[in-house]
Amino acid sequence: MQWEAVIGLEIHVQLATSSKMFSGAATAYGAAPNTQACDIDLGLPGVLPVINRRAVEMAVLLGLAIGAQIAPVSIFARKNYFYPDLPKGYQISQYEAPIVRHGTLEIAGADGEPKTIRILRAHLEEDAGKSVHDAFPGNSAIDLNRAGTPLLEVVTEPDMASAAEAVAYMRGLHTLVRYLGICDGNMQEGSFRCDANVSVRRAGDPKLGTRAEIKNLNSFRYVERAIEFEIERQIDVIESGGKVVQETRLYDSVKDETRSMRGKEDAHDYRYFPDPDLLPLTVTQADIDAARERLPELPAAKKSRFLSQYGLNEQDALALVQEREVAAYFEQVESIAPGDPKQIANWITGEVFGALNRAGLAFAQLPVPSAGLAALLGRIRDKTISGSMAKQVFEEMWETGDTPDAIIERRGFKQLTDDGAIAALVDEVIAASPEQVEQYRSGKDKVFGYFVGQVMKKSKGQANPQQLNEILKAKLGR
């Protein structure tokens, strides 16, 4: 029996405003507990919320970036429930009339072909506080710093058919919100978190299966693992004669499984109603036009431009546009050292990303400026140094901040690029290795590496690798 998975995501994007959704309290992460919750966040009697204009502008920016409708009038509602980290007893959210409706985001689907994911809505709301269970033995504590932090909840149609597609969508949205500057994207700090709705159905069945909702996934890896586990679990349930029940589940990353948290029977009745303290939110055409002016070049457009302008392949272009700073760095290097964009892409996605990874640094902390990388690549192109020497120079640029030329000079790096001199070394090696020559000529390709190694050794690592290869091939005659 063939099964089909159906997935819809609800992603909470924490907006990068400096103050809260409805109050002037600060939103900075990591402050001492309960130092950033004011009387409005606590819902003390007599206070009145005021809508944060920046948060509204950010919602409009996202709406425009996904080609959505921006509602001229949207409404804040109270979502009522009782929980210790929710002092007001309700969360202010948008329910029937969200600010953003009907957008799309394109991802690479299963077959690598572009696939359009429909975004049903994006609504503004405030975050709740946080329960802390490990600070005081035997007691739970409440930190209300997060209470009232602005969130944009972005909800898709059930358009994804695999964990991989769900992750591709999530990555796409993650890139987009950082391009727009509306979210710092820090998933460890909870700035970008996902609820995944998962169901399965028999292939071709037009009816959707019953779904489970997996709450609060805060890494791409967890989203992928949780969905994969959940799809298998639901198939097993149905194939062994059972029925999937609609419920909320949690993903346990240690056991790598999802577990039931609450069923439909304990689902809340939120008694939504328009918040009487807040006027309907109006967004004018002038507001929308002003936001459109501020839209940067978006990731999808930048990727197409990188493909056509620089002749990069899909994979390189995608890797470079993932972060706006990386794309800008690439273009700076290219403008200083034009002519070989592929080489620059290789260095950034290989050497630079690798070194950042090893050092545990973000791209913004890269110690090698674009002019430095451009100068280094110039020395490979003019054959002063080989690619492998360049890697050593790069490491030293990273450590010392010196220019490539200073390092090349100091280390005495130079390349042997004289064909005649390289050929002489090749001749010596061939003459000294009759056995290996025999092996190579009888078809043992691997022996080629032996010759390269020997000549390199004789040249003290200075033979230009490309020339060496060509001369060796010619002289060995295969």
Q: Which is nearer to ligand ADP, 54 or 201 (CB)?
A: 201
Closest CA to 58 of 186, 166, 151, 135: 151
Q: Is 210 helix (H, G, I), strand (E, B) or coil?
A: coil
By the rule CB under 6 A, 52 interacts with ligand ADP: no
Q: Nearer to ligand ADP by C-beta: 195 or 351? A: 195
Does the protein bind ligand ADP through residue 197 (CB under 6 A)? yes
Interaction between residue 155 and ligand ADP (CB under 6 A): yes
Q: Which position among 199, 234, 436, 454 is part of the footprint of ligand ADP (CB under 6 A)?
A: 199
Minimum CB–partner distance for residue 197 and ligand ADP (Å): 3
- Residue 6 in contact with ligand ADP, rule: CB under 6 A: yes
- Give the dihedral sign, CA 214/217/221/223: positive
Q: Tell me 15's DSSP state.
A: -
Q: How far is the CB of 112 from ligand ADP (least distance, A)?
A: 24
- Which listed range, 84-92, 155-163, 315-323, 448-456, lies at the site for ligand ADP (CB under 6 A)? 155-163
Nearest approach, Cβ of 382 to ligand ADP (angstroms)?
55
**Contact call for residue 8 and ligand ADP (CB under 6 A):** yes
Rounded CA-CA distance 221/212 in Å is 19
Interface region with ligand ADP, contact rule CB under 6 A, candidates 28-36, 125-133, 208-216, 443-451: 208-216
Among 14, 93, 156, 322, binds ligand ADP (CB under 6 A): 156
Write phi, then psi, for 447 (nearest 5 degrees).
Answer: -65, -20
Residues touching ligand ADP, count (CB under 6 A): 15
Please list the residues that pair with 295 across neighbouring strands: none
Q: Quick one: 216 exposed, middle or buried, by C-beta within 10 A (0-12, 13-18, 19+)?
A: middle
10 touching ligand ADP, by CB under 6 A: yes
Beta bridge partners of residue 143, listed in sequence order:
130
Q: Distance (Å, rounded) from C-alpha 340 to C-alpha 191?
A: 38
Region from 132-140, 153-161, 237-245, 410-418 binding ligand ADP, contact rule CB under 6 A: 153-161
Instruction: Kindly state the greatest CA–CA separation across the chain.
Output: 96
Rounded to whole angstroms, how far apart are CA atoms 301 and 12? 25
The smaller minimum CB distance to ligand ADP, of residues 10 and 287, is found at 10
Cα 443 from Cα 265, distance rounded (Å)? 72
Based on the shown chain and the rule CB under 6 A, indicate whether residue 379 belongs to the binding site for ligand ADP: no
Measured from the CB of residue 159, what is the shortest distance to ligand ADP in angstroms?
Answer: 7
Q: Give CA 181 to chain center in angstroms.
A: 14
Helix 314-321 / helix 324-336 crossing angle, nearest 10 deg: 110
Instruction: Judge whether 42 and 87 are in contact, CB under 8 Å.
Output: yes
| Stretch of residues binding ligand ADP (CB under 6 A), selected from 197-205, 332-340, 380-388, 389-397 | 197-205
**Site map for ligand ADP, 211-250, x if CB under 6 A?**
x---------------------------------------
- In the complex with ligand ADP, which residue's Cβ is closer, 226 or 321? 226
Give the one residue of 57, 85, 106, 157 binding ligand ADP; rule: CB under 6 A: 157
Q: Strands, E, within 163-317: which ranges?
A: 192-202, 212-217, 247-252, 257-263, 273-274, 281-282
Distance CA(3)–CA(162), nearest Å, equals 11
198 or 281: CB nearest ligand ADP? 198
Reduce the DSSP state of residue 59 to 3 states and report it: helix
* 158 binding ligand ADP? (CB under 6 A): yes
CA distance 271 to 90: 10
Asked if 103 interacts with ligand ADP (CB under 6 A), we say no
**Least spacing, CB of residue 218 vs ligand ADP, in Å:** 18
Interacting residues toward ligand ADP by CB under 6 A:
6-10, 155-158, 197-199, 208-209, 211
